[in-house]
Every structure is written in structure tokens, then in C-alpha cells.
Amino acid sequence: MFRLLGNREVPAVGLGCMGMSEFYGAADEATSLQTLNEAFNLGYRHFDTADMYGFGHNETLVGKFINQENINREELFISTKGGIVRDVNDKYNVSVNSTEQYIRAACEASLKRLNTEYIDLYYLHRLDPAIELEESIGTLKALVKEGKIKNIGLCEVSEDQLAKAHQIHPVAAVQSELSLWSRDSEQGVLPLCVELGVAFVAFSPLGRGFLSGSIDKSFMAGVSDDLDFRKRLPRFSEDNIDSNMQLVEKLKGVAERLQAPVSQVALAWVLAKAPNVHIIPGSKTPKYLQNNFDSRLLSLEPNVVEEINTIFSPDAVVGSRYPQKILEKSSA
């Protein structure tokens, strides 16, 4: 299943690289490079990173991957993001900067870390409400004209923001969270993306791993508060995780009938939302690459989709996406 992403058609399943640097426990660079290479050999072509992941480490890692002798850069579709500023003394304290000066500097730094002459898709990681869209999008428009980026993307924007930005310059993609337990985009920006011909790239399509069915109280008890971001998320809290796990158990029943892994069913559900939807599940090791990639081949009948919709009705999920204090400015 190939779908249009900006100026290219790529497999609808890409690889989110964030976890290879931080947020989901410790990662090993040698294993990460092995994972990236195995993903490429399996057919992945869309690789997603950002300048804030690991304070630049993730882009440097992806840069090492794409500059190997066995890799043809032109076969790859590399997306990255700029605009979120992290506090080096408090990694979860972030601010947003969408000024022309900052975005230009961030893009140049990303090009250097990736060791590439161009970025296939460059996102504003978040919009700074203090900066006019004409300045932010105008800067990206200039970067396209200069050949430094091929396509413009936005992250976690409203319908109004997307519509206004798209008038200034065509937006190639919107990246927002979309999964069985994060469905706000279904009635919001996703229909507008379909109307405008904008690709919708779903991050965390497995609910940060929860929808794979492998995360429970005992798993969470064994992860580090400092290394694993999920320790801070309400849906993974001791008070909420059992209720949410009951939903996954019901999904497992559906998956058993379909004779498919539960994670594959969860990913196929996202891909079935619209023909412009892409997913970027992450993986720190090669273990889940094939299973995730094959979700593009799993077709769900309408009655199955409706059954899953009922199981994961928005009011059935317990806990918000993020803690309240970072709800509006947290990272993808």
C-alpha cells in the first residue's frame, strides 16, 4: 500500500525514530542502526525524526543511517521537525519558537546533523501563537524555494490553522496523534486534510506501545521514572492502566478471530480511517518491524471497524493524553 506524501508516493507505514534516542527507556546506537537498516531492507522508506529528540541525537543517528554506502538517499523520504525548544536543565520543560530566524537556524542545524542536502518533509513541530502564520509559513515557503526542504508540514494544528496555512503555501502533511485511544482528529483536522488533499501522518498509532497488549502494571513498575516518559502519562498511571487494559483485552478477542496480531489490528484500524493516512509506529529493535509493516496489508471489514469503534469509544478510555501542565505544549 503506497500513499502520497508530499511529492512522493511511499509505503503507508513509516518508522518513527524518536524512541531510539529517549522517552521510552534506554536505547543502544548499534541496535538502532541495525533496526534502521533492517527497516530499509523490509521496504520502509519514510523515516521520521525531529531536532528535539535526544537534543539532536536522533537526527545525527538517522544521518549516519542515510549516509551509509548501501543506502541510496534518493530512495528515502526523511521527515524532521523544528520549532520546539527544550530546556537543557529540565528536559520536559519546553517552549515554542516559530520565528523566521529560529526556524531558519533550526533547519540548517537539522541539515547538518542529517548530513543531507535536503529534507523531504519539514514540519513546524508546534505553532507559536505569538507569531503570525504568514511569517512561519513564509519562512518554510522560502526554504522550499531554496531547495533545502521539499515539502511543508505542520504538527498538532487546528482546522483553522491548517486552512489558513494552506492558503499561504500548500501544506503537504499534518502530523497528529491518532490511535484507538486518541481519536480527537477523527472529527477535526482529519476530514479537512482529506478535503484539501493533505496527508495525515499519525504518530503514536499504537498508543505509545499500549495497544500492542504488552504493557501492564508490572511492566510500568519496572521502567525508570527518569528514562520512560510514559511514567508521566495519566493513561499509564496505576489508577487507570487496568481499566484501559480491559479495552485491549477485548481487542485481542477481535484479533484472534482475524488471526492477526493485536497490534496489527490496531494499526490497520488507523490506516482504514482515510486514504490519505500514514502511520509511523516506532521500534527500538528489529523485533516488531515486519509485524508493523504488514499492517498495511490487513483489510478490516466495516462491521469489524464498527466493533472496534465501540470498544474504544472515547468515553471508555481513562485518563488524558498528557498531564494537564504540558497538555498544550508536549512533544510528539
**Is the confidence at residue 326, as pLDDT, over 60?**
no
Per-residue pLDDT of 68-118, as tens digits, reads 999 999 999 999 999 999 888 787 889 999 999 999 999 999 999 999 999
DSSP state of 99: -
Note the pLDDT tens digit of each residue in 17-38.
999 999 888 889 999 999 999 9
pTM of the predicted model as reported, rounded to 2 decimal places: 0.95
DSSP 277-299: EEE--B-SSGGGHHHHHGGGGPP
CB 84 within 8 A of CB 132: no
Residue 147 · residue 131 · CB < 8 Å: no
Mean pLDDT (whole number) for 152-174: 97
Contact call for residues 263 and 213 (beta carbons, < 8 A): yes
- pLDDT given for residue 93 in this prediction: 86
Strands (DSSP E) found in 22-73: 46-48
pLDDT at 92: 81
Half-sphere exposure of 284 (CA within 13 A, CB side): 14
Instruction: Supply the pLDDT for residue 332.
Output: 46
Q: Is the pLDDT of residue 327 over 60?
A: no
Q: How far, in Å, CA of 25 to CA of 9, rounded? A: 33
DSSP letter at 301 equals P
Verify whether residue 123 is a known catalytic residue. Answer: no
Hey, what's the cell of 134? Answer: 504568514
Average pLDDT, the chain: 94
Helical packing angle, 100-114 and 57-66, nearest 10°: 50
pLDDT at 88: 83
Summarize pLDDT for 199-223 with one digit per residue, the tens.
999 999 999 999 999 898 899 989 8
| % of the chain surpassing 90 pLDDT | 86
Quote helix, strand, coil % in the chain, to nearest 5.
Answer: 45, 20, 35
Q: Which three cell numbers stand for residue 156?
A: 498538532
> Helix 262-271 and helix 302-311: axis angle, to 10°?
110
Distances (CA, A) of 208 to 120, 196, 220, 297, 310: 25, 29, 12, 22, 21
Amino acid at 312: F
Query: How many C-beta neighbours within 10 Å does residue 329 have?
Result: 14
Annotated catalytic residue: which of 24, 44, 53, 123?
Answer: 53
Of 92, 106, 159, 112, the closest CA to residue 136 belongs to 106
C-alpha cell at 104: 531558519
Reported in sequence order, the residue ranges of the chain that DSSP labels E, i.e. its strands, are 2-5, 8-11, 15-16, 46-48, 77-82, 84-87, 90-96, 121-124, 152-155, 173-177, 199-203, 277-279
